[in-house]
Each structure stands twice: as C-alpha cells, then as structure tokens.
Amino acid sequence: MDVAVEVLGSLAARTGVHRIRVGVPEDATVEDVVHALADRCGGHAALGVLDGERLRADTVVVRAAGNNTLTASSRVVTGDTVRFRLAA
C-alpha cells in the first residue's frame, strides 16, 4: 500500500526529505514507513527520526487525517499521510 510522508520544518534538513510516497505492507507501522523512507532516500532519513526502534524524543508523528499523534508501533492504512516534525 502507499503512504504519503511529509517531513516538516528543520526535521526535513535532518532527514533530507520534504515529501514522498512510500510503499509498505498492508499491516505496516510508522516504523515500517520510516524504513521504507530510508530505503528510498538513504539511512540518514531513519537516523533523523528513529532511536533504535522508537521515535527520537524530539520527533512527533501525526496522521494528517484527524491530526492523531502516532508512535513507531502505530499502524498506518492505505492512503494515509503521516507528518513528521520536531517537538515544540
């Protein structure tokens, strides 16, 4: 399935990505989205938002529809847009 990724603010400089669509399995999580992003854009993209298998403490991820906060283990669904940003 396809998931849209938006990386906002200075986090985009850290990851080298602003907007992209990635393909992930049907039962994918935010962590899977990050790894797909890294496969497409380089490992630095994952290092910019993950600390091991968890999101970095300064990284916030929200589902664009509903603005729900997500964790690395949150499931994504077909057509989702997930937004990554630095915590305020």
At 38-60, the pLDDT tens digits run 998 888 888 888 888 899 999 99
**Domain 2-86: CATH superfamily, name plus number:** Beta-grasp domain (3.10.20.30)
DSSP 3: E
Q: CA dihedral in degrees (48, 42, 19, 62; nearest 10)?
A: -40
How high is the pLDDT of residue 15?
Answer: 84
CB of 31 within 8 A of CB of 75?
A: no
Partners of 81 in the beta sheet?
Answer: 4
How high is the pLDDT of residue 72?
Answer: 94
Sheet holding 81-86, edge to edge: 19-23, 2-7, 81-86, 59-63, 68-70
How high is the pLDDT of residue 31?
Answer: 94
Q: Helix, strand or coil for residue 19?
A: strand
Q: Name, in order, each residue with C-beta under 8 angstroms of 79's C-beta and a sequence gap of 6 or more.
A: 1, 2, 3
Task: Record the pTM.
Answer: 0.90
Averages of pLDDT over each 10 residues, the chain, 88 residues: 94 89 96 93 87 91 94 95 93
Residue 10 to residue 86: CA distance in whole angstroms: 7
